[in-house]
Amino acid sequence: MSTQNSNYFNNSIMDREIQFRDLGLSDYQTIWDLQHDLFQKTIDVKIHNRRSETNLPTTSHFLLVEHFPVITLGKSGKMDHLLLNKKDLEKEGISFYKIDRGGDVTYHGPGQIVGYPILDLDQFFTDIHKYLRLLEQVIISTLMDFEITATRSKGETGVWIDVGTPFARKICAMGIRASRWVTMHGFSLNVNTDLKPFDHIVPCGIQGKGVTSMAKELSQEVDIEEVKERIKHHFQDLFDSQFVY
């Protein structure tokens, strides 16, 4: 990373603690409910502090999970970007949820690492643009560890390969929700993901661009646990934080 980028990503408070959990393979509703619970508890503490002029600590969280096959549509998404009806999706063994994150439509499934940071940004920095760029950098740096060159695409949140060419393809989607500077939802990195279900959607509502995975780029299956370890390393580094287990 260049010195300029390092300065941009550097924060003033070191070693913030974040509760970390690897939730394995789980259905979407269970984890969505968990996110909401952690998200609301953090907001409730902040509201209490403001009303009572107290300074009770908030707790930030970082969840990693793989989901059973599911398609989610963000609050700004368009239903016509879903190319199969719900009944046909059920036949394919794919669930569907309209949810409260930003962004359009995406697919989650086994072999894909989904990260849900539930952070109190008042303890980090109050800048959503910077937050998204940091999340992207976590993935860019992780992919670099596996000799995959990826970058950002202007105006298209997420992480891409071969940006600016006819072969541009997304390897990691992102969509978040934030309220009172508390975040939820996050990113989904295609590692060994079956990419066929992406044919049932217009991924992220972006026409004419494909999706890819680490396995596809490297022409071999990737050790997903090793990828998780690299994500954890870069997240702690870039967010100047320390995971607590």
For the annotated catalytic residues, the residue numbers are 204
Q: Which amino acid makes up residue 215?
A: A
Q: Which two tokens stand for residue 240?
A: 């100047």
Mapped onto helix, strand or coil, the DSSP state of residue 184 is strand
Q: What is the pairing mode between strands 151-153 and 156-161?
A: antiparallel
CA–CA distance from 40 to each of 17, 47, 107 (Å)? Answer: 19, 10, 25
Return the residue matching tokens 């952690």. Answer: 38
Return the residue matching tokens 């596996």. Answer: 146
Q: Which two tokens stand for residue 224?
A: 């997903």
Residue 173, strand partner residues = 188
Neighbours of 203 (CB within 10 A): 22
From first CA to last CA, the distance across the chain in angstroms is 29
Mapped onto helix, strand or coil, the DSSP state of residue 215 is helix
- Nearest of 119, 144, 143 to residue 130 by alpha carbon: 119
